[in-house]
């Protein structure tokens, strides 16, 4: 079974997370692990990885992040910044993206390379700060949003971690951001399992058993002539890649559902039922599709996973359907409040992993996406859930009719210099939001249903902090953890100043469905 055909529901995804956690435990014990710890000293980015670099502008960022909140009182020993620093220092040999920096090719004629940073400085990447009083959720969210809106330094490994003290109840948060060029959602989760443990007593395993952790590996940075020579070889095989790509596309055409006409793609000339059942190439214009600013807002919160499962069982749908339908209901409420609800349904981009079993443990991007209408034109929450269930089935069938790696192959085939300049032209001129196939992003990453520990302190929650772009000023992402759905909402500060209201509407939508169906 290829990755694009794998189940997307939480119950079926949990064993994979358990496997990741077991892998991290083996890695910290110095035993065999699925991670390729001894990676090549110089590794080239693929086309999709490079695309996340090219998308960056003065207002648009290419990194993603996450906030972990822990209770230090649960740790068996004294716990603080120094504890986390010691943990990272002892496990840094297991974290390739934490130690690699970029080397670009002259004139952008080929994709950049990752190389070991011989001048790596942990104290540059790990910072220690505190939130002002009262240290509540909104205070933390404001601080995280301000850090998240700042770009990463491309001359160093593309990550930062902040240990944030001063939260109410004596709790401590860590906010970590990594560039999307280095990780996708799945590999980011795998990195997290390296830093987290399944027991409060396991946090020193890396100290006792880390193999050769003191060994520093010298990496010769190639000169411009060598990089140009490598690029010439890559260009020589690009026609063969184009031929193979064309063959894969042609082979997949018989499986694709026929399109009635080009006007149908943009939402014209179809019956209403057909119009609403499939996505169009042009999403309805909303206030979410304006050019964004450099400033961000972040809001977060929890929903009981049991509530989502009860709704799922009563309606005969999936947990993912419930998540998307409630997110759609929340966005609909916000648009109604702002007198900005279009008559057509909004369309969401739903990222999915195309990681095969042989690629488990690989760092980097193995992602694709589905686009589907999400039922914002429907006022009734139950009807919206049924609509989302139908449209997601259509989206999955359409996506599975094409080769799982087709998007990645297209990104790899495009000449790097052309792709880079095209991205800069589109994004830096603010053209990306004028005509877009989706209005927002809704994503989820399944997680474990058992407690995890950071350096011995138990996690209370893990909340994503994702990215927004011109044309999609709202991102709703969630992780599941220990019986909770941990939501993290990111938006442009000027376009959606009341983002906490949207998080509140998410809770209201779950409550409405629970009251109606259970």
The DSSP output letter for 472 is B
Q: Minimal CA–CA distance to 20: which of 116, 101, 94? A: 94
Instruction: Return the C-alpha torsion angle 371, 375, 377, 381, nearest 10.
Output: -160
Q: How far is CA 494 from CA 8, 53, 58, 59, 297, in A?
A: 34, 24, 16, 12, 9
Which residue carries 């001063």 as its tokens? 166
pLDDT band at 232 (very low <50, low <70, confident <90, very high): low
Residue 176: predicted pLDDT: 95
Residue 419: predicted pLDDT: 47
Q: Rounded to whole angstroms, how far apart are CA atoms 462 and 444? A: 12
Mean of pLDDT values over 37-43: 54
pLDDT band at 427 (very low <50, low <70, confident <90, very high): low
* E-strand stretches of 382-514: 440-445, 453-454, 457-465, 474-481, 484-492
Residue 42: predicted pLDDT: 74
Residue 16: predicted pLDDT: 32
The ranges assigned to domains in the chain are 3-207, 257-448+467-517
Backbone φ and ψ of 349, nearest 5°: -90, 130
Q: Minimal CA–CA distance to 391: which of 294, 275, 246, 483? A: 275
Decide: 164 and 174 in contact? Cβ < 8 Å.
yes
Tell me: the pLDDT tens digits for 355-372? 445 545 455 545 567 899
In this structure, which CATH number among 3.30.559.10, 3.40.50.970, 3.40.190.10, 2.40.30.10 belongs to the domain 3-207? Answer: 3.30.559.10
Q: In this predicted model, which residue has the larger pLDDT, 308 or 226?
A: 308
Q: Structure tokens of 88?
A: 């990272």
Neighbours of 287 (CB within 10 A): 17
Least confident of 52-66, 262-276, 376-390, 500-514: 262-276
Decide: 462 and 66 in contact? Cβ < 8 Å.
yes
Residue 475: predicted pLDDT: 97
Q: Minimal CA–CA distance to 96: which of 149, 47, 35, 153? A: 35
Q: In this predicted model, which residue has the larger pLDDT, 515 or 250?
A: 515
Residue 282: predicted pLDDT: 87
Decide: 90 and 207 in contact? Cβ < 8 Å.
yes
Task: Work out whether strand 484-492 and strand 296-304 pair parallel, antiparallel, or are unpaired.
Answer: antiparallel
Decide: 491 and 469 in contact? Cβ < 8 Å.
no
The helix (run of H) or strand (run of E) holding residue 114 is strand 113-116
Is residue 504 pLDDT above 70, yes or no? Answer: yes
Mean of pLDDT values over 221-241: 58
Is residue 345 pLDDT above 80, yes or no? Answer: yes
Q: Rounded to whole angstroms, how far apart are CA atoms 391 and 372? A: 6
Neighbours of 244 (CB within 10 A): 12
Q: Rounded to whole angstroms, how far apart are CA atoms 383 and 426? A: 38
Q: Rounded to whole angstroms, how far apart are CA atoms 491 and 332? A: 15
Q: Structure tokens of 218?
A: 């010298």
Is residue 12 pLDDT above 80, yes or no? Answer: no
Q: Minimal CA–CA distance to 8: which of 252, 311, 370, 347? A: 370
Tell me: the pLDDT tens digits for 283-292? 999 999 999 9
Is residue 503 pLDDT above 60, yes or no? Answer: yes
Hey, is 92 helix, strand or coil?
Answer: helix
Is residue 267 pLDDT above 60, yes or no? Answer: no
Q: Which residues form the catalytic set? A: 180
Task: Work out whether strand 440-445 and strand 347-353 pair parallel, antiparallel, or are unpaired.
Answer: parallel
- Spell 48-67 as b/e; 16+ CB within 10 A means b: bbbbbbbbbbebbbbbbbbb
Q: Rounded to whole angstroms, how far apart are CA atoms 83 and 256? A: 54
Residue 28: predicted pLDDT: 35
Mean pLDDT over the full length of the chain: 78
Q: Please, how many CA atoms are within 13 Å of residue 282, restricted to the half-sphere of its CB?
A: 11
Least confident of 67-81, 310-324, 343-357, 391-405: 391-405
pLDDT band at 184 (very low <50, low <70, confident <90, very high): low
pTM given for the model: 0.79
Q: Rounded to whole angstroms, how far apart are CA atoms 134 and 468? A: 29
Residue 352: predicted pLDDT: 77
Tell me: the pLDDT tens digits for 296-307? 999 999 999 999
Q: Minimal CA–CA distance to 164: which of 149, 178, 175, 180? A: 175
Tell me: the pLDDT tens digits for 146-173? 999 999 999 999 999 999 999 999 999 9
Q: In this predicted model, which residue has the larger pLDDT, 270 or 323?
A: 323
Is residue 379 pLDDT above 70, yes or no? Answer: yes
Q: How far is CA 277 from CA 9, 148, 267, 273, 386, in A?
A: 21, 36, 11, 6, 11
Q: Rounded to whole angstroms, how far apart are CA atoms 378 and 381? A: 7
Sign for the CA dihedral angle at 388, 392, 395, 397 comes to negative
Mean of pLDDT values over 19-45: 44
* DSSP line for 116-157: E-TT--HHHHEEEEEPPTT--HHHHHHHHHHHHTSPP-TTS-
Least confident of 96-110, 184-198, 474-488: 184-198
**Domain 257-448+467-517 class in CATH:** alpha beta
Mean of pLDDT values over 209-233: 55
Residue 205: predicted pLDDT: 46
Are 3-207 and 257-448+467-517 the same fold in CATH? Answer: yes
Residue 120: predicted pLDDT: 95
pLDDT band at 183 (very low <50, low <70, confident <90, very high): confident
Q: In this predicted model, which residue has the larger pLDDT, 159 or 415?
A: 159
Share of the chain above pLDDT 90, in %: 51
Q: Residue 196's beta-bridge partner residues?
A: 454
Q: In this predicted model, which residue has the larger pLDDT, 143 or 290?
A: 143
Hey, is 381 helix, strand or coil?
Answer: helix
Decide: 399 and 352 in contact? Cβ < 8 Å.
yes
Greatest Cα pair distance, the chain, in angstroms, is: 68
Q: Rounded to whole angstroms, how far apart are CA atoms 67 and 160? A: 12
């Amino acid at each position: 079974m290829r990755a694009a055909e794998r189940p997307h529901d939480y119950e079926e995804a949990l064993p994979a997370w358990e496997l990741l956690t077991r892998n991290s435990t083996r890695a910290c014990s110095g035993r065999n692990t699925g991670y390729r710890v001894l990676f090549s000293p110089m590794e080239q980015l693929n086309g999709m990885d490079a695309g996340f670099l090219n998308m960056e502008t003065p207002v648009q960022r290419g990194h993603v992040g996450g906030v972990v909140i822990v209770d230090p009182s649960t740790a068996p020993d004294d716990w603080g910044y120094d504890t986390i620093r010691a943990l990272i220092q002892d496990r840094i040999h297991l974290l390739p993206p934490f130690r690699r920096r970029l080397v670009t090719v002259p004139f952008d004629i080929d994709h950049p390379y990752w190389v070991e940073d011989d001048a790596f400085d942990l104290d540059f990447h790990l910072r220690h700060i505190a939130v002002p009083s009262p240290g509540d959720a909104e205070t933390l969210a404001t601080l995280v949003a301000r850090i998240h809106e700042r770009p990463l330094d491309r001359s160093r490994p593309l990550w930062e971690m902040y240990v944030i003290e001063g939260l109410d109840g004596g709790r401590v948060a860590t906010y970590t951001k990594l560039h999307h060029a280095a990780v996708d959602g799945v590999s980011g989760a795998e990195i997290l399992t390296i830093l987290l443990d399944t027991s409060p007593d396991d946090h020193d395993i890396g100290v006792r058993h880390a193999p050769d952790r003191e060994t520093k590996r010298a990496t010769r940075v190639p000169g411009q002539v060598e990089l140009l020579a490598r690029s010439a070889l890559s260009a020589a095989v690009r026609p063969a890649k184009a031929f193979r790509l064309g063959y894969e596309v042609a082979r997949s055409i018989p499986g694709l559902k026929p399109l009635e006409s080009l006007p149908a793609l943009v939402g014209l000339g179809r019956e209403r039922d057909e119009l609403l059942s499939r996505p169009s190439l042009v999403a309805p214009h909303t206030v979410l599709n304006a050019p964004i600013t450099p400033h961000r807002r972040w809001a977060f919160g929890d929903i009981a996973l049991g509530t989502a499962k009860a709704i799922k069982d009563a309606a005969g749908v999936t947990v993912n359907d419930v998540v998307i339908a409630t997110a759609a209901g929340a966005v609909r409420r916000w648009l109604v409040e702002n007198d900005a609800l279009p008559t057509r349904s909004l369309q969401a981009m739903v990222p999915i992993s195309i990681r095969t079993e042989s690629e488990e443990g690989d760092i980097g991007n193995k992602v694709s996406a589905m686009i589907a209408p999400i039922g914002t034109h429907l006022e009734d929450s139950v009807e919206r859930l049924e609509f989302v269930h139908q449209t997601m089935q259509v989206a999955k069938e359409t996506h599975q009719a094409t080769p799982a790696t087709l998007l990645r192959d297209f990104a790899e085939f495009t000449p790097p210099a052309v792709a880079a300049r095209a991205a800069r032209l589109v994004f830096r001129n603010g053209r990306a939001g004028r005509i877009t196939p989706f209005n927002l992003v809704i994503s989820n990453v399944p997680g474990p249903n058992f407690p995890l520990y950071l350096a011995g302190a138990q996690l209370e929650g893990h909340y994503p902090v994702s990215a927004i772009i011109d044309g999609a000023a709202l991102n709703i992402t969630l992780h599941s953890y220990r019986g909770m759905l941990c939501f993290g909402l990111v938006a442009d500060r000027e376009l959606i100043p009341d983002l906490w209201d949207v998080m509140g509407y998410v809770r209201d939508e779950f409550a409405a469905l629970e009251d109606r169906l259970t």
